[in-house]
Amino acid sequence: MAEMWLNMGPQHPFTHGLWNLRVKLDGETIVDADPIVGYLHRGWEKLAENRIYPQIIPMADRLCYGASMSWEHLYCNTIENMMELEVPDRAKYIRTIVLEAQRIGSHLMWLAALGTDLGSYTIFLYSVRERELFLDLMQNLCGARMTYNYCRIGGVRNDVPANFERDFDRVLTHFLNRMNDLESLMDRSSVFRLRMEDTGVISGEQARNLGVTGPNLRGSGVEYDVRKDDPYEVYGDLDFRTCFEKEGDSFARYRVRMDEMRESCNIIRQAIKKMPKGPYRLKPPRNAPKGKTGWAHVEDPRGEGFMYVIGNGDDHPYRLKVRSPIFVTVSAAPVMLIGYKIADVPAIMGSVDMCLGETDR
Amino acid sequence: MDLRLAPHAVAMSAREFVAWSSDMMEQLMQASGGKKAVDKITAPIWSWALRNANYPLHFGIACCALEMAAASGSRFDAERLGMIFRSSPRQTDVLLVNGWVTAKLRPDLRRLYEQMAEPRWVVAMGECAISGGPWYDSYNTVQGVDTFIPVDIYIPGCPPRPEAMIDGFMKLHKKINKEMKGTFLEG
Amino acid sequence: MGKLAQREGLGPGGKTGEVIAQTLVEKFPQDVKITKATQNRVFATVNKPAWLNVAAFMKDALDFDHVTAVSGVDWLEEKKMWVVYHITSYANRVTAELIVELPRDQLEIDSISNLWGGANWHERETYDMYGIVFLGHPRMERILTPDGTDYFPYRKDFVGGRRV
């Protein structure tokens, strides 16, 4: 049989971000896969050693630009754990609300990319339109659409604007109605289901061992969510369920993210009701003691994000390590691809929600 | 072929004949002012067509690519201005560089630029493409895409808003209009 | 805690960080030193020769099923490097931080990629950035820096800055 290695990338309309997926094809069936990353490597962790702690916050934004707030917050949380700071309650609630809004925004961007991959431009247009609403909310809050620079070590940069609750309420009500349209466009489309069901199957056991986390893990039946199992901010006080599906195929991963969007609306509503008054920021110390370590892990929209910092005695970090969830999921991509046809590749890799900024750092 | 040796020109190979005849036509058009006349008629039409159908390459590198995607959405709608994203570099006019370029990517990006057919333009979107951006002290990023590709338009911002990106393309339209390439594109 | 044990696909659960720390010290008295142990965190240092045995024990007997991160740290003046492992147990909801010290002139350590596939690319990245060789790794090659890079970027004696 004629076998060949095919380069899908680095310039390919389906690659979300810059990477090269080399697949070995036997006719049309994939027999091996070799992802090549590193096209976006800037040495982020080395650059962080050259900057003072607050200067790293906008850098953390640009780690995964689809979920900027999540990475800023993870970084601030790590430094707060190292310096043993307790953030004020109001800041915790604000952070939770914007984190969930960011989760919805990130999942909508994923959905837009998935639609483009499968050739359905309608899904792209619908999702981008809804995402604009959430970007407007963020713009009211912190002035930027994408790389926010909003979280600070010790809280958040500014308090919520006027009409915060009214705006969020309007957007969430409108969005939940639109979700019905969006879901029916895909769930009831037999072509979509045909392309997504039974492709890219990864079992729960394999996913756990290979380090896959987040919606990709929960799509395979493992009910683990860092927000519920190792709570941070105010997730321990809020009532929501872990969304998971059992089949482990692309359709299951898609369903997990759609359910998560609905749960995020639920979480935002609860948090807005319970938000206390008070300070939103406290002043952290400038320097960290030499050799002091700290780490934090969060439920990023793409999986388990983690950062580990070691202090230097002055205002620069000695070592700042970033664990990116998609870095590990890409290494598990061969398991999801082998045995399927090449035409299934956009559906499978689209359901994984890649963001290469955090992979290559 | 030297025609002084064969004034009747009956024994040329096909290739020689084509070269001789196109050379004759060139000189004729140039001398009689036909070239100028044709160009004067076609240049505004060609320029209108070139600038209103600027097909960028479907190539997203980093954060600015999300704003590029948002610009194709229904709120900002780049397509009404003729910007339809194409996947193959052969079919595109504009190379929109929207992210930081690393040493690993640089030869591939240069190859993409060379694969594009003329007339082609390059737009550097965002600080990283203009001058390296926040990664000014990185060992692996190129400090500006104009170190290896000629750039026509620079769109500043980190990331530039979709409106800013569309404004940058409007400036590209003005630039194409000023160039006024006629039928004889090398003119 | 009871609800945790019923979740599908995960082990029996129920061991807190303190219990895990105690079990580790009982099994490897010379090689594991516990720095701190709380209900959901364990901080320990492990000796290099025993590292693979400790990791295999954690996987088989203590239900640690997911490698969160493998990091390298370069202590230039003290002429050593650390490899810091963060390994999570879903069933017990515990994350363990294990530090293995390596002398800077012999940067080799056993690979745990054959136990947990998730450590594969983390170890490759640590090699790429620090030069620490993981023995037994199926593919010990550079991953993020371009082919032909002859330096290890994150080492402290490598001065960053523009060079391309």
Residues of C in contact with B102 (CB under 8 A): 146, 164
Residues of A in contact with B65 (CB under 8 A): 17
**Which among B139, B141, B142, B145 is the top mutation candidate for probing chain C, defined by the most C β-carbons within 10 Å of its own β-carbon?**
B139
Q: How many domains does chain C have?
A: 1
Confidence bin at C5 (pLDDT 50/70/90): very low
Task: Give the residue on A whose Cα is nearest the Cα of B136.
Answer: A47
Model-level pTM? 0.91
Confidence bin at B173 (pLDDT 50/70/90): very high
A222 touches chain C (CB under 8 A): yes
Q: Is B62 exposed, middle or buried (0-12, 13-18, 19+ CB in 10 A)?
A: buried
**Residue A111 one-letter amino acid:** L
Domains of chain A listed by start with CATH number: 54-324 (1.10.645.10)
Strand partners, C91: none
Residues 258-317, chain A, touching C (beta carbon < 8 A)? 295, 297, 304, 306, 308, 310
Q: Is the peptide bond before A325 cis (omega within 30 degrees of 0)?
A: no
B151-155 — which CB contacts under 8 Å span 24+ positions? B151/B97, B151/B122, B151/B123, B151/B124, B152/B121, B152/B122, B152/B123, B153/B121, B153/B122, B153/B123, B153/B124, B154/B123, B154/B124, B154/B130, B155/B123, B155/B124, B155/B125, B155/B126
Is B66's CB within 8 Å of A66's CB?
Answer: yes
* Alpha carbon of C40: minimum distance to chain B alpha carbons (Å): 36
Phi and psi at C83, nearest 5°, equal -115, 120
Question: Domain limits at C52?
Answer: 2-105
Strand partners, B124: B97, B154
Under 8 Å CB pairs connecting chains B and C tally to 26
pLDDT of residue A141: 92
Answer whether A323's CB lies under 8 Å from A63's CB. no
Q: Is the pLDDT of residue A15 over 70?
A: no
Lookup: tokens for A164: 């915060």
Answer whether C70's CB lies under 8 Å from C84's CB. yes
* Alpha carbon of C29: minimum distance to chain A alpha carbons (Å): 25
ipTM of the complex: 0.90
> Is C67 contained in some domain?
yes
**Which among B104, B111, B142 is the top mutation candidate for probing chain A, defined by the most A β-carbons within 10 Å of its own β-carbon?**
B104
Buried-exposed string A111-123: b where 16+ CB fall within 10 A, e elsewhere: bbbbbbbbebeeb
Choose among B81, B161, B74, B65: nearest CA to A128: B74
Each residue of B35-70: pLDDT tens digit? 778 888 888 888 898 889 989 998 889 889 999 999
What residues of chain B have any CB closer than 8 angstroms to a CB in chain C?
102-104, 106, 132, 136-143
Each residue of A231-285: pLDDT tens digit? 888 998 899 988 889 888 999 999 999 999 999 999 999 999 999 999 999 999 9
Is A145's CB within 8 Å of B112's CB?
Answer: no
Is A37's CB within 8 Å of C143's CB?
Answer: yes
Helix (H, G, I), strand (E, B) or coil at B52: helix
* Alpha carbon of A113: minimum distance to chain B alpha carbons (Å): 9
> Is C56 contained in some domain?
yes
* Alpha carbon of B99: minimum distance to chain A alpha carbons (Å): 9
Which of B66, B89, B102 has the CB atom closest to A42's CB atom?
B102
> Is C161 contained in some domain?
no
Confidence bin at A60 (pLDDT 50/70/90): very high
> If you count them, how many residues does chain B have?
187
Q: Which chains touch A (3 or more CB pairs under 8 A)?
A: B, C
Each residue of B22-32: pLDDT tens digit? 888 888 887 77
Answer whether A60's CB lies under 8 Å from A71's CB. yes
- Mean pLDDT of chain A, nearest integer: 91
Residue C94: which CATH number?
A: 3.30.460.80
Residues of C in contact with A321 (CB under 8 A): 69, 71, 84
Lookup: tokens for A348: 């499978």
User: What is the average pLDDT across C62-68?
Assistant: 89
Confidence bin at B187 (pLDDT 50/70/90): very low
> Is C130 contained in some domain?
no
Is A42's CB within 8 Å of B135's CB?
Answer: yes
B139 contacts: CB under 8 Å, gap ≥ 6: A43, A46, C153, C160, C161, C162, C163, C164
> Is C121 contained in some domain?
no
Most distant CA pair in chain A: distance in Å? Answer: 70
Each residue of C137-163: pLDDT tens digit? 999 999 999 888 888 999 999 987 888
Is B70's CB within 8 Å of A131's CB?
Answer: yes
Each residue of C70-81: pLDDT tens digit? 999 999 999 999
Residue A50 and residue A75: Cα distance in Å, rounded? Answer: 16
Helices (H), chain B: 14-32, 34-52, 63-71, 106-115, 127-131, 162-179
User: What is the average pLDDT across A111-125?
Assistant: 90
Choose among B14, C76, B11, B66: nearest CA to A109: B66
pLDDT of residue A56: 94
> Is C158 contained in some domain?
no
pLDDT of residue C1: 33
* Alpha carbon of C163: minimum distance to chain A alpha carbons (Å): 12
pLDDT of residue A280: 92
Residue A276 and residue A193: Cα distance in Å, rounded? Answer: 44
Residues of B in contact with A147 (CB under 8 A): 63, 158-159
A158 contacts: CB under 8 Å, gap ≥ 6: A141, A142, A280
Give the architecture (CATH level 2) of B54-179: 3-Layer(aba) Sandwich (3.40)
**What residue ranges do the domains of chain B occupy?**
54-179
Residues of C in contact with B103 (CB under 8 A): 146, 164
Choose among C72, C109, C150, C162: nearest CA to A322: C72
Is A328's CB within 8 Å of C121's CB?
Answer: yes
Strand C80-89 to C94-103 pairing: antiparallel
Q: Is the pLDDT of residue A323 over 80?
A: yes
Lookup: tokens for A277: 């008054």
Helices (H), B103-147: 106-115, 127-131
Residues of A in contact with C118 (CB under 8 A): 209-212, 328, 331-332
Task: Give the residue on A whose Cα is nearest the Cα of B77.
Answer: A125
